């Protein structure tokens, strides 16, 4: 791929704006709340776009196009089933407790509702997960720059990390959030022309459908059995594993995304943040998944384009989107497309680093290392945590370079940590009998259950390390991931209930504002019916159901 | 006239996309052919991006918010 000075000038303008936003916001960072929580002053449209943009990182943009090429339109399940219902649940049912409790983070909600050990468990596992995720994002970005532009690994790592460090260090969470919004528009406007010209080349949706195997253009039709579809999962596993456990575990409890709603100006806007975000989220498959399907059709129809291959002769699905950009984009637009990819990596990395610095400062440092200190001290700690987060990310990127299974480890971490956590929150928010001991041991049991399931089963050569012969062989790694999540959630749910029933709950007075039955949910202040949370929820769920039906 | 709008995120986003749109339009006029599948990609994308940028600038300048 050859870039010209025009493409580089677009890179340059983008970096200038990203750094400029950080520099401009520096003067506003006067307290730890400003730096780590944006002073809870961010308008609704910004929190909504930041909410989906924090998730619009490398795995989303590159990964979903890769999945589109590998599995077809079934990949859209990660949106219409694996995101929208959970975002609605967060906005309608859970946000009143997150926001109403005035907790500064998800782990802090756990200490208010349960106890210190439950908070510590979640804070430490979340901090580890964000650092691994940020490092893997940096590694993937550097490999991309190395492959596409011939930049050395070191230059790519330090340049990307340096830019993210500067704007998050100067402007804190607000800078990350503002840049996420800029990055959101850039990703959409940078990749949408590829979809347009790609669809045009294959004869629009009808032509695309005719050129692909039927399994690739239907979302549910071939889900009766795991053997019938390229994803290797059946409809029950998809609905329970992705649609319930993993989806709700991620969107409703992962501080990286929940944080974007918690910095809204008031409760009403906090509730509407995930609901408004659900509208663009619903349409994202047409931008990030469709290029993968188009790439497969172009490979089969004699257009001259071929899916990229690895050195060992296997298809390199992760390079599908970059190879499509190289194939179709002229100089100029190529710069925009590549800048959009850069933006997605940076957005993911900055999101992780800003979530890490909040959890480190509020839930680890202030909770266990130095409890009483002036606010200026915590501001300084938050800034230092930003620097340390970037340094750890760089170290993780180098580790990822040496061990090719770190990406698998990251996927496992998500399943091990997020899946049981949703059971903890579900019980904690909606059953006042749940105790701190129940929550803690439920989480430990859920995580152990996830590790045991992974160790006893195998798929695509992964897992099964506990026994010489695995007790079950899944058709695909994805099916295994869903299975691990289901076992993990169920174990946590049952163990939490069992231990809660034999331990003493907190007095009701200490749980007001934290548990549904003890909290008066504030009346919705939004008077326009079409912006009411319930209206938004119904419309977005209806839209999502309609898309599932159309592409059944 | 108050220039408070320059601190509005919509202004920053608008300015960025207006500049990028102009670069693409300039590339269409002066650069190599951008014809892909019968579509002038730099021209069409440049126009769309430029219009989006101007739209955001107009919102920031003429419809200020409390932020």
Question: What whole-number percentage of chain A has pLDDT above 70?
Answer: 98
Measured in angstroms, the CA of B58 and the nearest CA of chain A are apart by 17
Residue A113 tokens, joined: 């509702």
Residue A346 pLDDT:
84
pLDDT digits (tens, 9 = 90+) for A205-242: 999 999 999 999 999 998 888 888 888 888 988 999 88
CA-based radius of gyration for chain B: 15
In terms of DSSP bridges, do strands A472-473 and B39-40 run parallel, antiparallel, or are they unpaired? unpaired
Write phi, then psi, for A464 (nearest 5 degrees). 70, 25
Centroid of chain to Cα A217: 25
What is the mean predicted confidence (pLDDT) over B16-43?
90
Q: What is the pTM of this model?
A: 0.91
Separation of alpha carbons A501 and A342, rounded Å: 50
For residue A308, give the DSSP letter. -
Transcribe A108-131 into DSSP letters: HHHHHHS-HHHHHHHHHHHHHHHH
pLDDT tens-digit series, residues A449-490: 998 998 899 888 777 778 878 888 888 888 888 899 999 999
Is the CB of residue A484 less than 8 Å from the CB of residue A456?
A: no
Going by the DSSP 8-state scheme, the letter that residue A551 receives in this structure is T
Pick among B23, B44, B63 to test the A interface (most A CBs inside 10 A): B23
Burial profile B22-56: b = 16 or more Cβ within 10 angstroms, e = fewer: ebbbebbeeeeebebeebebbbbbbebbbebbeeb
pLDDT for residue A193: 93
For residues A56-63, give the mean pLDDT. 78
d(CA A357, CA A247): 24
Which residue of A9, A196, A329 is in closest CB contact with B23? A9
**C-alpha–C-alpha distance, residues B61 and B67, integer Å:** 13
The residue among A226 and A306 whose pLDDT is bigger is: A306
What is the structure's pLDDT at A88? 96
Return the number of other C-beta atoms located less than 10 Å from residue A13's C-beta. 17
Q: pLDDT at residue A245 above 80?
A: yes
pLDDT of residue A395: 92
Domains of chain A with bracketed CATH: 5-402+522-550 (1.20.1730.10)
Of B13, B28, B41, the CB nearest to A182: B13
In the predicted structure, residue B33 carries a pLDDT above the cut 90? no
pLDDT above 70 for B1: no
CA-CA distance, A124 to A136, in Å (whole number)? 18
Q: Hey, are the CB atoms on A330 and B32 less than 8 Å from each other?
A: yes
Question: A251 pLDDT band (50/70/90 cuts)?
Answer: very high
Task: Give chain B's length.
Answer: 67
pLDDT reading at A51 higher than 80: yes
Q: What is the pLDDT of residues A402-449, one digit of tens each?
A: 765 555 666 667 778 888 999 999 999 999 999 999 999 999 999 999
Q: How much is the ipTM here?
A: 0.93
pLDDT exceeds cutoff 90 at B7:
no
Q: Nearest-CA residue of chain B relative to A186?
A: B17
Judge: B42–A200 Cβ closer than 8 Å, yes or no.
no
pLDDT, average across residues A49-77 = 87
Alpha-carbon gap, residue A53 to A61, rounded angstroms: 11
Q: Show residues of chain A in contact with B23, CB under 8 Å.
A: 6, 9-10, 13, 332, 335
């Amino acid at each position: 791929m050859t870039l010209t000075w025009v493409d580089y000038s677009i890179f340059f303008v983008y970096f200038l704006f990203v750094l400029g936003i950080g520099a401009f916001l520096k003067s506003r960072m006067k307290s730890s709340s400003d730096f780590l929580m944006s002073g809870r002053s961010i308008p609704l449209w910004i929190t909504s776009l930041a909410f989906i943009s924090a998730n619009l990182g490398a795995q989303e943009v590159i990964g979903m196009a890769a999945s589109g090429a590998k599995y077809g339109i079934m990949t859209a399940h990660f949106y219409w089933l694996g995101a929208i219902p959970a975002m609605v649940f967060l906005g309608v049912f859970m946000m009143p407790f997150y926001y109403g409790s005035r907790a500064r983070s998800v782990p802090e909600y756990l200490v208010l509702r349960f106890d210190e050990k439950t908070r510590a468990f979640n804070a430490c596992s979340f901090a580890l997960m964000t650092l691994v995720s940020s490092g893997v994002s940096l590694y993937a970005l550097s490999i991309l720059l190395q492959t596409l532009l011939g930049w050395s690994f070191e230059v790519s790592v330090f340049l990307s990390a340096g830019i993210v460090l500067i704007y998050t260090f100067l402007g804190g969470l607000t800078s990350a959030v503002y840049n996420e919004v800029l990055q959101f528009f850039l990703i959409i406007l940078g990749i949408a022309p590829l979809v347009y010209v790609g669809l045009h080349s294959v004869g629009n949706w009808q032509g695309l459908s005719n050129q692909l195997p039927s399994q690739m253009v239907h979302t549910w039709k071939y889900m009766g059995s795991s053997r019938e579809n390229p994803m290797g999962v059946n409809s029950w596993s998809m609905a329970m594993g992705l649609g319930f456990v993993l989806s709700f575990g991620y969107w409703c409890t992962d501080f990286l995304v929940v944080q974007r709603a918690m910095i809204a100006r008031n409760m009403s806007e906090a509730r509407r943040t995930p609901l408004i975000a659900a509208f663009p989220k619903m349409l994202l498959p047409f931008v990030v998944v469709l290029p993968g399907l188009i790439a497969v059709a172009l490979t089969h129809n004699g257009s001259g384009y071929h899916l990229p291959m690895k050195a060992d002769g296997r298809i390199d699905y992760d390079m599908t989107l970059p190879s499509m950009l190289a194939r179709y984009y002229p100089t100029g637009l190529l710069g925009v497309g590549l800048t959009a990819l850069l933006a997605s990596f940076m957005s993911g990395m900055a999101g992780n680093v800003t979530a890490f610095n909040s959890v480190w400062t509020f839930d680890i440092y202030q909770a266990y290392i130095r409890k009483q200190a002036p606010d200026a001290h915590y501001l300084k700690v938050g800034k230092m945590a930003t620097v340390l987060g970037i340094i750890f990310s760089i170290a993780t990127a180098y580790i990822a370079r040496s061990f090719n299974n770190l990406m698998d480890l990251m996927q496992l971490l998500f399943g091990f940590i997020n899946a049981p956590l949703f059971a903890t929150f579900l019980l904690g928010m909606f059953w006042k009998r749940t105790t701190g001991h129940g929550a803690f041991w439920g989480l430990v049991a859920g995580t152990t259950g996830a590790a045991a399931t992974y160790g006893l089963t195998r798929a695509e050569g992964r897992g099964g390390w506990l026994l010489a012969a695995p007790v079950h062989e899944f058709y695909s790694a994805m099916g295994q991931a869903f299975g691990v999540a289901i076992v993990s959630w169920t174990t946590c749910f049952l163990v939490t209930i069992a231990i809660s029933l034999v331990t003493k709950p907190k007095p009701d007075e200490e749980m007001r504002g934290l548990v549904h039955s003890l909290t008066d949910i504030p009346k919705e202040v939004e008077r326009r019916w079409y912006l009411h949370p319930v209206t938004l929820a119904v419309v977005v769920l209806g839209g999502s159901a309609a898309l599932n039906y159309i592409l059944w | 006239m108050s220039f408070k709008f320059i601190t509005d995120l919509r202004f920053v986003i608008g300015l960025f996309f207006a500049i990028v749109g102009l670069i693409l339009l300039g590339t269409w006029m002066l650069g190599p052919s951008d014809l892909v599948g019968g579509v002038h990609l730099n021209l069409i994308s440049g126009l769309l991006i430029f219009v989006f940028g101007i739209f955001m600038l107009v919102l920031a300048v003429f419809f200020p918010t409390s932020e």
